[in-house]
Structure 1
């Protein structure tokens, strides 16, 4: 939500120019959104001068600001504007509607940024008066991670090669990034018995998911037929990352009891796991694990007609039935969307993301 025109009419402020509105004038709009969309994630455009941002975050809004990466000489968003905004939001002396928990709101609502200038190419252009040094780009990304950002609008332009290492590291932390670290499972289960699965997870990102994607296990045959599902009671929106993006993330332990029906025949099955859309068996979240992947229908997962395979060294299933992987997926980081992107993104969003974890025997 943009409450346009609340900031002071000066270039030395975060937000847009002042149109004379007071917090009292704007309160009804915030109240209307809360009433109309009680369960929809909401964010508020921030300013370091007005009080409506903290008024909104007190009522469940996240926050966003423009011009990430402004290191202008004299006064800048990075060195003056954002620190002032964050300090003012919780200041009981200067703010008429302070949010004393402002620095913790990322746990329940998103923090978003949009970059300054038209593209990262502008940042890299040494002829540009607002050119950013490599260190300034690093500091910009680190600031977003420190504030537990979920989204960065870097605009639709190709990423300069010089920033590829920085962006790859940044994307591996931005938002949520769930990794399955360990699985302790029953390898042999009697027909109509219970498959016990004890798993350990981490969120390697800097923010949680603000929507629960239930942890779901499934049994699959070698030819891709789906035999059964079990949905865990775990709530991944409560799986927070480390408080500081440079620290180790907490470990979350989950114990599931997968009741096998009498209709499941004796034999060997693959055990898959996915984070699914609520009320479905459609896996929506790509885990930070490099294992064989299959689709919602049990077929090999493909991107651009290339089957994703396990190309890295992974500890295999071992004698004590523990499966452990501490590696990270290496994502491509050159994101330049052309006119075909919408169709491609829609296709990939609907393909399913199930990770093969183990084999079990029904005896």
Structure 2
């Protein structure tokens, strides 16, 4: 949810901005009201941007792709090549992405970038350097010549989880602890900001049981993550053959919520990783 305050479109900028003390009161209303909903702080007012992100908000900007080299309009300066990179530093928000999302809105439209001869690779690379999680392209079409670049960009923005290695015993006993090794890669540029659960499901033709893995996925920043631990095989699990499946679950629905960048996805969202045999004591 965007923190709307004053100014044009409620985006916190205009020639008539009130003193920061009044802006702060408006920002506090949102922070107090939305305790569980992720908030995004608008970019233009540096003091407000710093305050909002220091109090739990992510951030957004609304002119991604403005590649003008200069501007005589003090209320519409050259954004990408002047204002934005420096504002990120001056506001001290370089590391906000590690705990809260970054969302970007395109300037003009993507087709407008092409008409103006803008450098698409520069724009998308800069968005990734800012660790973008979502982009608003204003429901406008992407030029066909640029679709492959956007498809590649889409696979790098936000999080992208790849299970690189999984090791577990092929035969286990009900009521026992079993060792498990998982090596994951977050090939995106940001973590997930919701408290999803990493889980294993043991499923037979007649029954299924879910075992949660004690990791905090919100801390899986871009790069490798390893789990070396043990899982409990429920004592009431019947003897027989079981499929070994993994998923990342929504805490509200208890259903798979994240599409992983691996093969093996089933119709119910779980990923088949192999099988094992359960024996009773």
What TM-score does the superposition give when structure 2 sets the normalisation length?
0.89
- Cα deviation, residue 50, structure 1: 4.1
Distance 2:111 2:12 in 1: 24
Note if 1:174 corresponds to 2:170.
no
Report the count of equivalent residues. 269
* 8 Å CA contact retained: 1:3, 1:45: no
1:179-224 residue CA offsets vs partner (Å, 9 max, x unmatched):
1111110111124333332111121111111111110100112x5x
* 8 Å CA contact retained: 2:5, 2:27: no
- Which among 293, 313, 327 is matched to residue 265 of structure 2? 293
- Which among 66, 70, 79 is matched to residue 70 of structure 1? 66
Partner of 2:86: 84
Distance 2:80 2:207 in 1: 51
Distance 2:12 2:120 in 1: 22
Alignment of 1:1-363 (within 5 A): 1-5=3-7, 16-47=13-44, 49-75=45-71, 76-90=78-92, 102-117=93-108, 119-125=109-115, 131-133=116-118, 136-221=119-204, 223=205, 225-241=206-222, 249=223, 251-290=224-263, 292-294=264-266, 301=267, 352-363=268-279
Partner of 1:97: none
1:282-301 residue CA offsets vs partner (Å, 9 max, x unmatched):
010011112x222xxxxxx2
- Cα deviation, residue 37, structure 1: 1.9
Distance 2:15 2:90 in 1: 18
- Cα deviation, residue 226, structure 1: 4.5
1:55-87 residue CA offsets vs partner (Å, 9 max, x unmatched):
111111111011110112423211012123223
Distance 2:145 2:24 in 1: 45
* 8 Å CA contact retained: 2:68, 2:81: no
Distance 2:140 2:269 in 1: 27
TM-aligned CA distance change 1:226 to 1:80, over 3 Å: farther
Distance 1:195 1:165 in 2: 44
TM-aligned CA distance change 1:4 to 1:359, over 3 Å: same
- Cα deviation, residue 164, structure 1: 1.7
In structure 2, runs of 5+ residues without a counterpart are 72-77
Distance 1:123 1:226 in 2: 54
Higher strand share: 2
* 8 Å CA contact retained: 1:123, 1:132: yes
Segments ≥4 residues shifted beyond 4 Å: none
1:1-56 residue CA offsets vs partner (Å, 9 max, x unmatched):
133329xxxxxxx9732223111111112222222222321111111x54111111
Partner of 1:343: none
1:297-324 residue CA offsets vs partner (Å, 9 max, x unmatched):
xxxx2xxxxxxxxxxxxxxxxxxxxxxx
Cα RMSD (Å)? 2.0
Higher helix share: 2
Distance 1:212 1:50 in 2: 30
Distance 1:190 1:88 in 2: 58
- Cα deviation, residue 149, structure 1: 0.8
Distance 1:284 1:65 in 2: 27
* 8 Å CA contact retained: 2:179, 2:229: yes
* 8 Å CA contact retained: 1:216, 1:273: yes
What TM-score does the superposition give when structure 1 sets the normalisation length?
0.70
